[in-house]
Chains A and B, each alone.
Chain A
């Protein structure tokens, strides 16, 4: 008889993963969180809902995404690297998996509108896309700084019929966009679903988003098995809130694979943070000695977040997964290296995971190891920013 899964099963009835998670929201939002939890549990055990979710991901979003063997990169670094190509999914990243699930759920709950936060703009674009497909109204909150860094994504969302609201409070980045989306949700919760973009926030979001993203890990596990690779030695993914990492880890949580999450060095909540409560969850946070949340700093807007999803905090505390930080400079080198060796321009976020492999191949990753890299998004959105940085140095 097989053992029940030890890691990445359902959280406790109060939404806890070990000591992390839970639900820390204004009372005004509690009924919506409870309604969402019930609706998700009901939908996720309904074959009709699950079929529709898979069929939309297939017909609309282009799943399944392939696993690509990175031949020249592998040869150069002496490790066998397979990339799960979430960059090839519709809208250019894994974010589509989650929003397809959440927008179908929105319709099932009888709500007619979604709001979302976005950092780099990937989740905002994905939400705008899925909302357009179902005819749901959509408003996206985006830090003012990020609207400048990712101007094209702002226009994409508008093309898709969404409204983008620049957030001017606090650090004007992702964490403030989450604050503003939560504030707005209070005043429109009756007809509006908050389509949260990562494995964070109050229960059931961290669990629900991980479940909607777990298709990444399940597909990759089947694909590696089918090509005779089997369970990889290492599974690596970048982590901001941690949804792409949670998705790919879910396929290997109870295998022998080593799980590695790569945070931006300037936003490394596990390495440099401490337990705290923010955005509806208890997790690891970067905060001052007085408990004020500090601003994260990263070249990639998508990893500019001072916290991490609560399940990651638990996986770190339990030792099942490890979390490391990578600096901006190494990320730029990794982006160029992967582009030139493999013909794949990764998103700056995903390039963090590439950079970790380059740094640790032959060290923390023994020569000849097999590595599954989650290539969570494509770099199109970042090329203008990278051009500016590299040109500025000439």
Chain B
């Protein structure tokens, strides 16, 4: 199957493949084989924990059969996609990149991956991530780190960001046109920025969380990675929707996000939050941010300065709320019902041995922090205080959105960094999410768009944050940024080129 034509297929995006399949230019099986071959060729990047070639070929053939009968299902029928290994997939190993889920094969499919499956999308594999989605580098995976397809100025290996680093790498390296991620504090947007692709976190409640391994339930949201804004919009349209199995999933109708891309940004009010100018932020990130505002202004948007006074408290509030919820959610990993069991003389010993061995260092750290801030005597001082600060942060956004339609900020305070860096300083690692965490705390949609390269030739993203359930405006503005940025640089490693 390997041949020159497949190199072309790997470079195609979601909309290209949809149109090519509809026109009969190629089959779903051909596109799928190109993805699987690229995944094999790029195995050195370690983007996948599990490849699922049998499932992929079976679904691709079924898609081609449907199409031959004139019964194609929609825009994603026959589309190769990668799925973060945090989504439970029926009959397919699901690890959350943790030792403690050794051998776990769910008997059910997460709603979001199921929505893709039911729309005819072709899962090619489960992607690597930080253990339980806790990290900004993919260094905490039990299955070894992912490498960013972009390399450093001296050829050094770089992290893809995290936690959805495997999904970001799979899309950036052109293994597949789109992938599923989850974002609790920036885990879609930050790796999208570091890998030079588009990553979108929808409004809290837009996508069902059912069947996604839970990290922090009030913050977790599923979202897409793709190489264009339009492709991300097509993905979200299929992923989103109300689900009775998740009571936090919103009953709001899902708009036609692709149709919403038209119209431009003339008259759109774009807010620049003053507090996102951080001490020590590289000058080139500030310059790119200014450039982004200029690009939107040139297309007719109105640029307004806004204030989000509690921004600096978002990250410390997050590092109370998220570990607290994680300590509760991760209580289920007890060696009794699934995954690893490390024996002990008593039930309590068995629990402690299983969890001590099964969780990696960062997960143990966060579960213990969470346990501490929820424990008697500290609950009000830490947890309740953080939830009050969260109210303040939400109020800041609500006030700002009285004057503007979207906010423009950098996505991350730095470009991709070397594999292994920041590992001895958890707070330095946490600072990677300083610009992304506030949207999670307030439940708002956010998107990262590749906007330029730094002095080392590494991608940098700009973030747009929108009003609740106004992803349509966010996509429209993101597309205006995308057109102006005209980001065409490619990483060193492209799966389709072996």
A, B assembled together: no
What residues of chain A have their CB less than 8 Å away from a CB belonging to chain B? none
What residues of chain B have their CB less than 8 Å away from a CB belonging to chain A? none
